[in-house]
Amino acid sequence: MVKYDLLNFTVRGDHTGNLVALEKGTDFPFDIKRVYYIWGTDKNAIRGRHAHRKLEQVIVCTSGSCDFILDDGHERATVHLDNPAVGLHIKSNIWREFTNFSPDCVVMVLASEHYDESDYIRDYQQFKMEIAK
C-alpha cells in the first residue's frame, strides 16, 4: 500500500460559509515553511512527475477537483481531491503526478521546507534507484 494520509480539517462553518484554519502545532503534521498554489491548468496536463528526498507536503484542492497519482516504486494509488476540508499528506520518496484538473481547480500545497531543487528527484529511474538503496 502506498503510504499517505488524508487529513480531515476542522471546518468552522455557519450559514454564511466555511473556514478552515491551518496553524502550526494544531491539526497539522509539520511546521509550514512554504505555500504555493497552482491553477488555470489544462484538464489533461500532467504535473508533478517528481519525488522529494526529504520534503513533506500537505496538498489541498481548495476549489474544483483533480487526481493525484502516488507511486512508492512498487505500487500506485490514485487519490481524487475535491474537498477544501481535506488535505493529502505525502512524506518523502513518493513519486507523484497530478492530472484531470477541473476548470476551476486550485491546488494549494503546504510544504515543510523552502524550495530546494536538490531535494527533487525528477527522473523516474533515478527515483527507483534511490529507493532501492
Q: How far is CA 17 from CA 9, 11, 13, 26, 45, in A?
A: 15, 10, 6, 22, 31
What residues does 59 pair with on adjacent strands?
88, 109
Q: Which stretch binds ligand TYD (CB under 6 A): 17-25, 32-40, 60-68, 87-95?
A: 32-40
| From 50, 52, 80, 89, the catalytic residue | 50
Residue pointed to by grid coordinates 484554519: 21
Contact between 47 and ligand TYD by CB under 6 A: the answer reads yes
Number of residues that bind ligand TYD (CB under 6 A): 6
Q: State which H helix or E strand residue 109 sits in.
A: strand 106-111
Which of 38, 77, 85, 86 contacts ligand TYD by CB under 6 A? 38
Which of 2, 4, 29, 34 contacts ligand TYD by CB under 6 A? 34
User: Is 114 a residue of the active site?
Assistant: no
H runs (alpha helix) in the chain: 124-132
Residues of the shown chain interacting with ligand TYD in the complex, contacts defined by CB under 6 A: 34, 36, 38, 47-48, 115
